[in-house]
A and B are shown apart, each in its own frame.
Chain A
Amino acid sequence: MKSLDIWNRTYSRAFLDDLPHRWQRRAFLRATVKTATVIALAPLVSSLPGCSDQRSTSPPLSQAPWPTLAAVQEILLPHDAFGPGAADIRATPYLHALLQTSDFDPEERQFILDGAHRLDDICQEQHQRAFLMLDPALRDPLLRDLAESRVGDRWLGALLTYILEAMLGDPVYGGNPNGIGWRWLEHTPGFPRPSKGLFHA
């Protein structure tokens, strides 16, 4: 478990202990229409109409570490007869857009992206292959082992938080296409719903 130990030691206990809070209310959106965030959000918002499915496989989501992140997200929220999975709710494009917003905490961004590489290191050590090459039946157990460590718990916890944001946030942010998450949970959204105008005005 050398790779996990190294990963664990990379982040201070204080940093990791703060994470559940940090993820909750980090400012990355500003209501003021003059901030740089507006520009940062624009590509995401303008990509929404039509919601091309290719987007989830086109660069940069086809480049490391995004395929690994997408695979982990699908384990955390699998597609099945019971309800939508991570790909159905566009969890990966949502996370990608979120991490690109200029106001997103750089330390946190690094922590999330780096986690996919660390996961590969651990997988190499235990199974002599990258996570994406691992037998799907072995992936979930590997993540369950990982969750036993502080750093793994915080990393997976963060991914889960953003999966749930993608699933139940307004589609304007790139997840929850056509309200699929709301429909699945029989949830009535409020009105008026945000338009891209909020960030473009």
Chain B
Amino acid sequence: MTDHYDVCIIGSGAGGGPVALTLAQAGYRVLVLEKGPWLKTSDYFKDEIACCRRSTYTPNLRDERHVIEEREGKNWKAQSTYDSGWDFWNGNVVGGSTNFMSGFFFRLKPQDFQLRSEFGPIKNANVADWPISYSQLEPYYTQVETEVGISGRVVAHPFAEPRSTAEFPYPPTAEHLLSRVFDHACEQLKLHAIPTPRAVLSRPVDERRACEYAGYCGSYGCATGAKGSARVALLDRAIKTGQCEIRPHAQVQRLISDDSGRVTAAEYVDTVNNIQRVRAKIFVVACQAVETARLLLLSTGPKHPQGLGNRYQQVGKNLIFSAGGSGRGEFEYADFSTDQAQALKQIGPFVNRSLQEWYFINEKQLGGKRKGGTIDFLLRHPNPISRAVGLRRDDNDELIWGQALKQRLKNEFTRAQYLDYEVFCDWLPTDDCFVSLDSAVKDKWGKPVAKIRLNSHPQDVIIGTYLSNQAKTVLTAMGAKNISGSASTSPPQNLMAGGCRFGTDPKSSVLDSDCRMHNATNLFVTDGSFMPTGGSVPFTWTIYANAFRVAEIIKHQL
């Protein structure tokens, strides 16, 4: 217990990075504890087997798993992720899952901060207003544009959120032929095509190279430093101040608190399975929603007999994901000129187009004024193994092999380019979507694993279907064939938030409006856990922005 830091941050992703950088730059001694290894930009390759076929950047599910509870009739059926293969880990390395994101970056809208006031209560959903407004977060959204590096082009559209600057600091990344086809279709449909802002550098800055358009972005670690991971964009700079230390392979198992309720130390297991403790004035938890809730629940103390901050049983509650759906259209090379077909085949440049035309909807068929969402259009992921493996069974789930399989592969890979869409809409928080500790299943250190109960609200699918149908209309106008798509009730496990709501009432929230724990004043949570509602966009930009905001608050508290 010789170490003594001003701030100890647990988790090195989007929640941890901004705090580490801000406080290190302010001259405070910062320690970041990360359970995974510290891989550098030069350690990342375009290797589908390492990236996407094995748990290379996440724990072995035999050693560390989750338990997922899903509805089965009137009961809940629990199954471990080791048994199902449905992996809920998202990048346990320095920089966390920001290393592997696609970096589709959107701000929330001002109305997202007060959904309950704007749209009223929804039956069986725990919709709550945020304790802060868009205008309070706006300066930090802007800060992220430069600190993390966001490329794009601002366009006017009906639901564009207010900005304090005119443009993004980086111009858009290179675009694919289908971007132009998309724009043309949108003009005809009188829709506002939005160039998707990306946390991907279009020109180099310091030691980060610009995007080199390798064509494998999402799910892959970036080999140029262009992708705005917390590691290259923030932590590398924090290290350079000489004030920040990153300790990889440090799996924090509990936070120790004293008789007053304050956190005094973090206890972690090191590479050789020794238990270590570190002290700090302030602790920041940012392990991503599920593991943050688990760590707090495991951290009992004299003032926190049911886990840190859990006196009103709020820790882990109101877990949310990004609801929505997805779909695809095909562009057959035979329908295009040789040159066009060649351009269609190109992988590397991005399509980078989105629509927020239906971010808010007022439709009779949906019952009037409703919260809608965002549709993002992107080239189908080029991962060849996953595409091929999907072809080894037919629609009746029968195996296909021999000549038939070879023809199927050839047809799939060489006939057409595929344009995908993804719908992002609110995953309404409900009483049946939460994190708790499993009473039986333990990790390899003997600690109870997180049990995740999953439930989607019926409205999520209604909205998802509505948006999915709009996306299909656009694909049709683009001339796509074999269009398919649907809404989903299954959560994308890489887009999680909630579980430690911030709010003004300690009885219905875990954190105050500063993301400080209500009854442990030197403990902050800065990952996506604080979000009472998630907005209808990927969360990462908001997590980064809020972490920069909280970093300023911590600076004043130190």
Contact = CB atoms under 8 A, between A and B. Distances in A.
Contact of A21 (B84, B385, B409): B84
Interface string B26-55: 000000000011010001011111100111
A187 B55 CA distance: 24
Interface stretch (A50-58, A72-80, A121-129, A130-138): A72-80
Interface string A177-201: 0000110111111111111001001
A167 B413 CA distance: 13
Interface residues of B, number: 55
Interface in A156-182: 156-157, 160-161, 164-165, 167-170, 172-173, 181-182
Contact of A24 (B48, B85, B382, B402): B85
Interface stretch (B159-167, B213-221, B453-461, B541-549): B213-221
B239 interface: no
B414 interface: yes
B402 to A, nearest CB: 6
Interface residues of A, number: 57
A87 B212 CA distance: 35
Interface string A142-158: 01000100000100110
Given A173-B49, A191-B214, A198-B45, A26 B413 contact: no
Interface stretch (A3-11, A30-38, A59-67, A111-119): A30-38
Contacts of A157: 392-393, 399
B384 interface: yes
A193 B45 contact: yes
Given A25-B85, A188-B382, A82 B50 contact: no
B223 interface: yes
A170 B49 contact: yes
A105 B54 CA distance: 12
B385 A168 contact: yes
Nearest to A185: B413
Interface string B92-118: 010000000000000000000000000
A164 B85 contact: no
B347 interface: yes
Contact of A153 (B59, B388, B399): B399
Given A21-B85, A185-B414, A80 B403 contact: yes
A160 B399 contact: yes
A192 B45 contact: yes
A14 B36 CA distance: 32
Given A25-B53, A198-B45, A161 B406 contact: no
B156 interface: no
A195 B223 CA distance: 13
A192 B43 CA distance: 10
Contacts of A167: 388
B260 interface: no
B382 A29 contact: no
B384 A194 contact: no
A105 B55 CA distance: 13
Nearest to B414: A186
Contacts of A13: none
Contact of B403 (A82, A143, A173): A82
B384 A198 contact: no
A185 B409 CA distance: 7
A161 B215 CA distance: 24
5 contacts: A76-B405, A147-B399, A156-B399, A164-B389, A170-B48
Query: What 7 A-B pairs are tightest by C-beta distance, nearest first?
Result: A21-B85, A190-B46, A27-B55, A190-B216, A27-B60, A194-B45, A185-B413
Interface of A: 14, 18, 20-22, 24-34, 75-78, 80, 82-83, 103, 105, 140, 143, 147, 153, 156-157, 160-161, 164-165, 167-170, 172-173, 181-182, 184-195, 198, 201
Given A31-B93, A83-B406, 11 more contacts: A21-B86, A30-B60, A153-B399, A161-B392, A167-B388, A169-B49, A170-B47, A185-B384, A191-B46, A194-B46, A198-B43
